[in-house]
Structure 1
Amino acid sequence: MRAVTVTPGVPHSLKLTDEWPEPAAEEGAILVEALAVGICGTDQEIISGAYGEAPPGQERLVLGHESLGRVREDPTGTFRPGDLVAGIVRHPDPVPCANCAVGEWDMCRNGQYTEHGIKALPGFARDRWRVQPKFAVGLDPALAPVGMLLEPTSVVAKAWDHIERIGTRAEWQPQSVLVTGAGPIGLLAALLATQRGLSVHVLDRNTTGPKPDLVRSLGATYHTSTVGELDFQPDVVVECTGAPSVVLDTMCKVGPTGVVCLTGVSSGGRTIDFDAGALNRSLVLENTVVFGSVNANRRHWDLAAQALARADLSWLESLITRRVPVAEYADAYTATGDDIKVVLDFQQ
């Protein structure tokens, strides 16, 4: 069968093979036919050789962690043939740590977790894959065109879950949220914010292309200014750029008792002059919380599936700016400045 693979640590070793072995039975009882995989910055970094880990005893890693497929067979009876499913990316560590032991593997403390298409587990960019029932998430059949968005949606579902948990430390009635960055994570974070009835503001550098209209069609406000130039103090910030200056600006801008959730990952290597003392004073005196969030556990994947089912399907489809056949895989993994979400289509 076909599979898109890399040799981890070897830059630009991406290739499509037609002779990849069928998924091993120990991967899971449920056999799934791939429909599509979404492509994101993590895939680009693995292709560049920055990180990635093949399964034990193997040289190559199958890419793909934003999955979508149809069940072909499930002897456990959890799903029926034809059901739409996605595979959860992260699996708990084998020790397990305290968090993995209770299903909170997104909060793994020892780093021995595994991840499909990233770390020691084969990914979903292959014609067929297997999954254990507890790592398979069912999707509404109507989401067949966009179900590969479930993984990035699970990331922001976790972010909102933790934002709201932090908010319960006191009487908390948030009114406004600022999302910085209008990539897939930022747009999905804005979607979940609108579903919560908040006044949503999205800040991004793009003045053309689909992003401004996508934000406005949510009923949100689109900004291209700097964070500091905004004329309001948000109760919540979801930071999705990882740009150091933006990260610092959001900490300074959030309102009293506000919550700043960092989902973007900075590349490092840059220094910025800023008044750390003033920032510390503001964070302490205004009871501000700043925290980082990454990955998701089963609860968040289920919440994400519910959020997508409530969303406008045409809006979700607009996030997908390119659908590329598997035979043209190299084009799919070549980033362009106009893309929001690129999908590798296994059915073309």
Structure 2
Amino acid sequence: MRTVRAVTVTPGVPDSLRLTDEWPEPATEEGAILVQSLAVGICGTDHEIIAGAYGEAPPGQERLVLGHEALGRVLEDPTGTLQAGDLVAGIVRHPDPLPCPNCAVGEWDMCRNGQYTEHGIKALPGFARDRWRVQPKFAVGLDPVLAPVGMLLEPASVVAKAWDHIDRIGARAEWQPQSVLVTGAGPIGLLAALLATQRGLSVHVLDRNTTGPKPDLVRSLGATYHTSPVGELDFEPDVVVECTGAPAVVLDAMCKVGPTGVVCLTGVSSGGRTIDFDAGALNRALVLENNVVFGSVNANRRHWDLAAAALARADQSWLNSLITRRVPVDRYAEAYATGGEDIKVVLDFAG
């Protein structure tokens, strides 16, 4: 029986991360398209799964293959959807087996009953293996120019969804946004800033780092980098994309946005912390200024396609600069170890 290398964990068991070279070849039931893995991006969700805080193995299995930020090259596609040699990414979330109203129409990012599955996270094997399979409707072909950076498509899809919903909410009235504040300069924040510049907005990014690559990455977009608290900024943004999940920053963002403004929360707070604040004053401001605060997570096929187009239009050298470490798969433990100034770490399967 042919086998592949795979990075796996036992969900719920801290520090059970392992590389095996005896993982079964992906079964055709996983999808008609066979893909050679090139690279897998690593994010905070992976670290939470490794810590035992999250994750669910496929039914009947004890271990879960990690990896949801995929980049691969098609080996074979009998359906004709893609051609051998095409770059491809796999959509992470799949709709539930008995779909809720949203999953039934392809809006699985808005699943109402929580029975969705996710590659490398929840009940579906991930992409951190030499070869994987994908169904045609969950395969996203990429422009060849994205060969070095295509694993950024998954976080970019999250940002594309956020902007899609910001645009839809803004369309409730005559709305001509001029400025956006992005809080947090991690991968999601930087990609949010990228898509904001592609919209022609005046972009401001706030992060606490004063050294490292983040300030220069922001400035090279033509955006302004801030390190002061949100409340000390001398302008009221029309849009805030909050990417830290830090409770104090979240509240400051709600208070800082301008009239008829939109605050999109993409950062996930850990909970367990309380902050003393004037909820009545916040409520008054949101109501009297017609402001909207909403949460956004995951993405559906439309957003993946939007993200692929946005990345293809971007400065490829800038995108490449987001990747601060590329680690060969045989040194997988180094890849999953956190680094102080890392932005995006990539596990390299291409050798």
TM-score (norm 2): 0.99
Q: 1:331 aligns with which of 328, 334, 340?
A: 334
Pairwise CA RMSD: 0.3
Q: 1:108 aligns with which of 108, 111, 119?
A: 111
Letter in 2 for 1:282: A
Displaced runs of 4+ in structure 1, greater than 4 A?
none
> Alpha-carbon deviation of 1:307?
0.1
Matched, 1:193 2:199: no
SS of aligned partner of 2:210 = coil
| Structure 1 equivalent of residue 90 of structure 2 | 87
| Structure 1 equivalent of residue 304 of structure 2 | 301
Q: 1:280 aligns with which of 275, 278, 283?
A: 283
Matched, 1:254 2:220: no
SS of aligned partner of 2:99 = coil
The alignment-based identity, stated in percent, is: 89
Q: 1:131 aligns with which of 122, 134, 137?
A: 134
> Alpha-carbon deviation of 1:262?
0.0
Q: 1:44 aligns with which of 23, 44, 47?
A: 47
Letter in 1 for 2:187: P
> Alpha-carbon deviation of 1:268?
0.3
* Distance (Å, rounded) in 1 between the aligned partners of 2:182 and 2:350: 34
Matched, 1:177 2:192: no
Length, aligned pairs only: 348
TM-score (norm 1): 1.00
Q: 1:218 aligns with which of 210, 218, 221?
A: 221
* Distance (Å, rounded) in 1 between the aligned partners of 2:217 and 2:37: 28
Matched, 1:66 2:69: yes
> Alpha-carbon deviation of 1:347?
1.2
* Distance (Å, rounded) in 2 between the aligned partners of 1:323 and 1:160: 29
SS of aligned partner of 1:343 = strand
The residue correspondences of 1:146-161 to structure 2 (distance < 5 A) are: 146-161=149-164
Where does structure 2 lack aligned partners over 5 or more consecutive residues?
Answer: none
Q: 2:346 aligns with which of 336, 343, 347?
A: 343
Letter in 2 for 1:240: C
* Distance (Å, rounded) in 2 between the aligned partners of 1:122 and 1:152: 19
SS of aligned partner of 1:2 = strand
* Distance (Å, rounded) in 2 between the aligned partners of 1:247 and 1:79: 42
Deviations 1:212-265 (A, max 9, x none): 000000000000000000000000000000000000000000000000000000
* Distance (Å, rounded) in 2 between the aligned partners of 1:344 and 1:256: 44
* Distance (Å, rounded) in 2 between the aligned partners of 1:316 and 1:37: 15
